[in-house]
Structure 1
Amino acid sequence: MDHLDKRLFKSFLFLLMLCFMASTAMAQSTRKLVRSGDKLFNMANFRTALPYYERALERDPDNAKALYRAGISLIAFDKEKASEYIYKAYKLKPKVEDDILYWLGRVDLVNYEFDRAIQHGTNYQKGLGKRDVEGKEQAALLIQHARNAKKEVANPKDVFVKNLGPVINTAFSEHSPVISKDDSYLLFTSRAQNVTGGKEAVDGEYYEDIFESRRLGPETWETPRSLSGRLNGTGHDASIQLFDNDNKLLMYRQDQNGDLFVADRSGGDWSPPVKLNANINTRDFESDAFITADGNTMYFSTNSRSENGDLDIYYAKRQPNGEWGAPKNFGNGVNTQYDEDSPYFTPDGLTMYFSSRGHSTMGGYDIFTIKFDTVARRWSRPVNVGYPINTPDDDTYYRLSADGRLAYLSSYRMGGYGEKDIYTINYIKSAIVRGHVYSLRDSTIIPGVELVFTGKAGNNTPLEYRDVTKPDLGNYQVTVLSARPYQVTLSKDGKNLATEQFEVPLSTNDTTVVEKDFYIDFGGTTGIGAQSYAFKRIYFDTDRYNLRPESISELDNLVNVLKANPSLRISIDGHCDARASDSYNILLGENRAMAAYNYLIKAGIPSNRMITVSYGERRPAAPNDSPENMQLNRRTEFNVIRGNEQ
C-alpha cells in the first residue's frame, strides 16, 4: 500500500469510527428517552410519558417498545393513532411485551373493531398460565365487553350526542357537569392549566378545580371562570350537585382520601365548604353523591365498605337534627364487584341513573338506569341506556336538565378535544316536512301525487310516512322522525314518477319545519330528483382534501351525466368529521368541495353550472364516535339544484 492509499484508508477508518460513535450515541439517546418514558408510564402518568416515546420514535421509528407504550398512552387522547402504534409494534416484534394481545384487544374495542377485540382477547387468554387468574379475568372481561358493545352498537338509540365545544372542553379532562334549574348556569370540573395553583398531579394532569360558566345562546357559553378561593383548594375539588333552589352545592374535596362537602351561597358568595358527618365521610374514598328533591335522602359512592376496594352506592336518611343517619347498601341489584358511581335521580324519585364498570357495560364506565315499581315496591334490574349515549370507553356523570329536554354527561368518546369531555344528549324528535310537487316542464302544481318517505329508526326498524298532494295547491305534509335520510317515492295513478334521496335534519323540539319541493317530468321522462341523478358521495382521508383514486372514478361518472344533461346544475357540498374546530372544518369542507369543482372544470364542465358550499361538521351523516362513522362524515356530496329544459 503506497503513501496515498494509506492516508485514504486511515481517513475511511476515521469516518467509519465517527459513524459508529454517532450511531452508538443515538442508540444510547433513544434508550435513555424510552427509559425516561417508562418511569412515568409505570406510574400511569401517560400524558407526560408520551413525549419521551414520541421523541424516541423520531430517532428510531421502528422502536417496538416505544411504539407499544406510546400506543397505550394514547388510548385516552387519540384512539386511531393508538391503534396504529400498537399494531405496528406487534408487526415489528410480536412479543414486544407479554400482554401485547390484550392491548391489541383493548385498542380494537375502543375503535369499534369488536370481532378483532374478541379474537385478540381469546388468543391472549389461551396463552396465559393456569395460575394467572387475574389475567384470565381481564381477558374474559375484554371479550364480554366487546360482545356487549357489538350488541348495543347494532341497536342504537335515537339520540343525538354533541360535544359542548372548545369554550368548555380542553385538551385536559372536563367532567361532573352541574346545571341550574333554568339551564343557564353551568358548574363543572376541569383539570386544565388555569386551575388554582397550576400544579400537576402525579398523572400529568393538573389538580381538579370547579369552574362556572353562563349560557350566552342555545349552544354558546361564556369563557369559564375558576371558583378559586372559597371552593377551590390546591388539591382536587369537584362539582357534584346544586340543590336547595340552587343555593347549595354538594362537592368533592381531596381531604384524607376524598370526602363530600357542602357550600352555601344564600348570602351572595359561596361560603367555605363544610364537611359532611362521619356517617358519610370515612378514611376511605367517597367520590360522588346525590340528594333527592325532598332533601331527605342522600345516595353516595364509597369504597369504605367493599371487600375488594371497589366503589358501591349507599344511601342515608336525614335525621330530625339535620344530620345524615347511618348508611345502607343500595343492594346487590345495583352494586357489583366492580365500581358503581355517580347516582342521579329524576325529580319524582322513580328513576335512577348511575355509572358502572359492571353489569352489561360496553367497556369502562357505562350509564345504567333502574326504575321503581310503585305497585311491587321494588327497583327494576339495571338496564344499559345504550349506544350512542354509552361507548366502549368511560361514560359517566349523567345529569338531566330540569325540564328533561336534554341530558349532560362526561365521556372519553372519539371526536373530543383531548381527554374526558362534557357532552349534551338530545333525544331526536319528529320534524314536519312539507312542500309542493311541480311539473319540471312548466312549474305547474301536480295534484294527486302520492309521496312515500321510507327510512329506518336507530335500531333499524323500518319507518314509512305518506301523503297525497292536495287538489287545489298541490301541497303535501308529513311528520317524520328527524336526523336521517329517507327515500322518497313519488307516484300517481299507480305509476312511479320519481325516486329521490332526501336527508331530514336534526330536530330536538318537535316543532321543526322543513320545506321540500319536488320537480318531476310529468311527461314520463326521468326528471330532477330521479334515481339516475342520485350521485354518489366521495370520501377523504383525515384532515385531507386530495382526491382518492376511487373518487376520480365517481367524478368521471358525474362528468358523463352532466355532459349528457346540459341543463343540470349542481351544488358541490363539502363536509367534515368533528375532530377540529368549527372554523377549521368550514375551511376544510370548502377545500374538499373545491377539489371536486376543480376536477370538473378541467373535465370541461362550465363553472356557471356548479356552486360550492361548505357545511364543515354541521351536517354529519353519522355520529362522530367511530372511525367508520367519521369516514362517512369526511365527504363531498353532489346535489341537483336546477334541471329546467333548454
Structure 2
Amino acid sequence: MKKTILPLLAICFTMQLHAQVVTSENAPKKARASFDKAQAAISVYHTADAVPFLKEAINIAPNYLDAYGQLGMCYIELKDYKEAVNTFSKFKQLDSSSLRQIMVPYSRALAGTGDFNGALQMINQYIAGAKVSSRLAEKLKANYTFAVNDKNKNHPFQPNNLGDNINSKDPEYFPSLTIDSKTLIYTRRVNGNNEDFYISQRQNNTWGPSQDMGAPINTSFNEGAQHISQDGTILLYTGCEFPEGKGSCDLYISRKTKNGWTKPENLGAPVNTRDWESQPSLSADNQTLYFARETPTNGSDIFVSHLLPNGKWSNPENLGPNINTKGRETTPFIHADGQTLYFASEGLPGYGGLDIFYSRKQPDGSWGPAVNLGYPINTIDEEGSLVVDAAGTTAYFASDRADGKGSLDIYSFELYPEARPLQTLYVKGFVYDSTTQQRLPASVDVIDLQGGTQVARFETDENGNFLAPLPTGKDYAFHVGKKGYLFYSDNFSLKEHNPGQPFEKNIPLQPLAANASIVLHNIFFDTKQYVLKPASMLELDRLVRLLNDNPTLKIEIDGHTDNIGSDKDNKVLSENRAKAVVDYLVSKGIPAERLSSKGFGKSQPVASNDTEEGRAENRRTVFKVVSL
C-alpha cells in the first residue's frame, strides 16, 4: 500500500495544477491589467519595464501561465538566462502539455547558463515533434552540438570592468591600445546618439580619467570603430555618411604631430568603395591594414591591404576561406606579433551569433584554420571587438554584463595560454645626426637573423622617433638609412630580455664624407674562418645599394680580430675576411677599382680582450669612405 501512495498523490497533484492554471482568458481582472501593461511596454521595446508588471500579475494569480511564459521571454531579451530558466521551469511545472510553446526559448536559456547538454536535448525534442522543419531550430541544434563537443571551453574567464574612469551610463565599445599599454582609445555613444572617441592614459597601473578627443577628430557626425597604431602616431577609424564619403561607411586617417592630431582624411580608393568599409586594424609596423568590407552579394568579409612605396594602399585582398564565410566576419585585430589575427564570425562553427576566433599566419603567408576561443568567452550571444596587449596575456573587449555601468562597458581579462599570441617586446629610440646631434627622419628595417626575413619596415616620425614591436626569443638585425648618410647597422638579441621592459636604442647616422666609417655589425664568420655566413648577405646587399646609389664612392673594407691566436694568424685571418667582403661586392657588379681591403689583426682593439664581450667587439668588419 505504501508503495502506491506517492504516485497517486502525484497524479492528484498534477490534476489539481492543471485545474488551477490561469491564462489570459480566465485571469483575474487585476492580473490581466498588469499583464496588459507589460505587453504595452514590450511593444515599445521597454522590456525591462515589463518585468515588474508581469511579476505583479503572477503575485495576483500565482499560476498565471501566460505571464510566466512572457516573463521568461523578457529574461531572454535581457540576457538574464538564469532567471529565464527558473521561469520556464515554473511554466513547465504548471502545464507540461504546453511546454512545446516555449521549447526554443527555453533551450536558449539553458544554453545561456552553459547547460548545452540540456539545451541540445530540448531542441532535439522540439525538432522531433515538428511537422515542418525550422531553420532557427536547426541552427540552434548546430550551435548546441558544437558547444557540447568543443574541447576548447571552460577555460578560466574573469572579466574585470575597467571602472568609472572609462565606463559610464553611455555605451562604450571598440577598445584600442598602444603597444606600451599606456594609451586606451575607445568609442562612446554619447547620450545614446552621437559616437565620439575618448582617450585615457594609464597611471600607476590604473586608467586615468577619460577625455573627449575633441576636434578635429570628433565632429557632429558619427565616428566609430577606431584603431590607434601601436606607436600611437596614427588613428584609423570609420566615418559613416560623411559628405566626402565614397560609400555608406569609409575609413579615415589622422596622424599625431607635435601640434596635435591632423585633420582626418578619407583613405580613398582602392580601400574605400561604394560599399561599407569599417573596423580597421593596422599591423605594428604600420604597413599592413586589415578591415571589414560588406557588399550586397558577399556580406561582411575581412580584407587586407599593403602600403606601397608611393604611400598608396594596394588593392585589398580577401583573406580567404579559413577566415571568411558566407556569414558575417567582423572586427579584425592583428596582434603586434604580426602572426595572430583575432576576429568575429557568425559563419564558422560556434556557440551562436558572432563568436571570437583566432588564426595563425602560416610560413607561406596564408592564414591557418580559425580556432573558436570557446565558452565562456563566447556565448549564445554576439561577441566581438577583442584586442590583446603586446605581452599577449591581457585581452580587452566590450560587453553588456550585469555589473556594467551602462548598456555596454569595456572589460579586461587574462587570456588563457593556448589562445595567446607571440609575446612581443618593442625597440624604441630616435635617429640623429652624429655630427650636429640634430634629430633625423629615416627609414628602419628589422631583420630576423635566423630566418633572414624582414619582420618590420617603417619610417620614423619627423623628429626621428621610432617604435618597432618584435616577438621575443629571437636575434635581430637593425638597419637604419637616410639619403646623404652612411647606413647604420646593429644586431641584438631578445631571447632573454625582460618582457616588461622596452629595448631602447638611439641611432647615430654619419654624414656621407671622406674618412667616415661604420662597423658592419651584421657580417658573420665562423670561428677562425673567412667564408661569409648566409646571414651576412642582408648587410652586404645594403652596402651594394649604397655603392650603386653613389657611383663615384670609393671605400675600404678593414678586418679586425681579437687577441686569441698568434699575431701572424690573426693578421692573415683579418685580411682574408676583408677580402671576402670585397669579393662579394665585386660579384654583385661593383667595379674592383672602387674597392680596397686591409687586415689589421688584433692591433687596433676597441675594447678589452679580457672579457668575451670585449673580444666580440674587437672581432669586427669596418667600412670606411676613401673618397666621394
Q: TM-score range by the shorter chain?
A: 0.5 to 0.7
1:251 aligns with 2:237: yes
The corresponding residue for 1:182 is 180
C-alpha change, 1:109 and 1:244, in structure 2 (3 Å) is: closer
Residue of structure 1 in register with 2:562 after alignment: none
User: Structure 1, residues 291-323: CA drift from partner, whole Å, max 9, x if none?
Assistant: 22333332211221544xx32112223345434
1:413-432 matches, within 5 Å, as 419-427=407-415
Give the superposition deviation at 1:73. 4.3
* Residue of 284, 290, 307 corresponding to 1:293: 284
Q: Which amino acid aligns with 1:113?
A: D
- After the TM superposition, which residues 413-562 of structure 1 pair with which residues of structure 2 at under 5 Å, given as runs? 419-427=407-415
The CA deviation string for residues 159-217 of structure 1, in whole angstroms up to 9 with x for no partner, is: 664333454345654321111222122112234xxx1xx2x4xxxxx554322222233
* Residue type of the alignment partner of 2:103: L
Match of 1:274 among 246, 265, 278: 265
For structure 2, the 5+ residue unaligned runs are 1-26, 242-246, 418-497, 501-628
**1:369 has 2:355 as partner:** no
> Mean alpha-carbon deviation: is it higher for 141-150 or for 410-419?
410-419
Instruction: Map residues 142-161 of structure 1 onto 2, 5 A cutoff.
Output: 142-152=140-150, 155-157=153-155, 161=159
Q: Give the superposition deviation at 1:117.
A: 0.8
Larger radius of gyration: 2
Question: Quick one: which amino acid aligns to residue 148 of structure 2?
Answer: K
SS at match of 2:126: helix
Instruction: Give runs of aligned pairs for residues 180-329 of structure 1, distance below 5 A.
Output: 180-191=178-189, 195=190, 198=191, 200=192, 206-218=193-205, 220-234=206-220, 236-243=222-229, 245-255=231-241, 257-304=248-295, 306-307=297-298, 310-329=299-318
**C-alpha distance in structure 2 between counterparts of 1:388 and 1:52, whole Å:** 29
Which amino acid in 2 is paired with 1:422?
A: I
Q: Which residue of 2 aligns with 1:393?
A: 381
Gaps of 5+ in 1: 1-22, 42-47, 201-205, 430-508, 512-646
Structure 1 residues 171 and 120: CA distance shift in structure 2, 3 A: farther
Aligned to 1:349: 338
> What letter is aligned with 2:395?
A
What whole-Å deviation, never above 9, does each CA across 1:125-162 have from its counterpart, x for those lacking one? 234443x5xx33x2222223223333447754466643
Describe the SS at the equivalent of 1:141: helix
Residue of structure 1 equivalent to 2:583: none
Q: Kindly, what percent of the aligned residue pairs are identical?
A: 27
Against the structure 1 CA distance between its residues 171 and 424, is the aligned structure 2 distance closer, same or farther, given a 3 Å change threshold? same
Residue type matched to 2:329 in 1?
Answer: E
Q: 1:49 aligns with which of 47, 50, 63?
A: 47
Q: Pairwise CA RMSD of aligned residues?
A: 3.6
The code of the aligned residue for 1:247 comes to T
CA contact under 8 A between 2:179 and 2:336: conserved in structure 1? no
Residues in 2 aligned to 1:66 and 1:237: alpha-carbon distance in whole angstroms: 42
Counterpart residue identity of residue 33, structure 1: K
Quick one: distance in 2 between partners of 1:214 and 1:510? 21
Q: Write the distance in 2 (CA, Å) between the matches of 1:303 and 1:91.
A: 47
- CA shift for structure 1 position 250: 1.3
Alignment of 1:69-218 (within 5 A): 69-75=70-76, 76-89=78-91, 100-130=102-132, 132=133, 135-136=134-135, 138-152=136-150, 155-157=153-155, 161-170=159-168, 173-191=171-189, 195=190, 198=191, 200=192, 206-218=193-205
Q: 1:380 aligns with which of 364, 368, 371?
A: 368
| Contact 1:176/1:240 (8 A) holds in 2 | yes
Distance 2:113 2:163 in 1: 22
CA contact under 8 A between 2:179 and 2:230: conserved in structure 1? no
CA deviation profile, 1:517-547 (whole Å, cap 9, x unmatched): xxxxxxxxxxxxxxxxxxxxxxxxxxxxxxx
**Separation in 2 of the partners of 1:389 and 1:341?**
17
1:408 is matched with which residue: 382, 387, 396?
A: 396
> In the comparison of the two structures, how many residue pairs are matched?
385
- Quick one: which amino acid aligns to residue 137 of structure 2? A
For residue 106 of structure 1, report the CA deviation from its aligned partner. 1.1
- 1:368 alignment partner AA: F
CA distance in 2, matches of 1:236, 1:98: 44
- Within a 5 Å distance, the mapping from 1:53-72 to structure 2 comes to 53-61=51-59, 67-72=68-73
Change (3 A) 1:99 1:383: farther
Residue pair 1:179, 1:187 contacting (<8 A) in 2 also: yes
8 Å contact from structure 2 (residues 187, 195) kept in 1: yes
Higher relative contact order (CA 8 A, sep 6+): 1
C-alpha distance in structure 1 between counterparts of 2:90 and 2:141, whole Å: 22
**For residues 328 and 334 of structure 1, what CA distance do their matches in structure 2 show?**
12
Paired residue secondary structure (1:116): helix
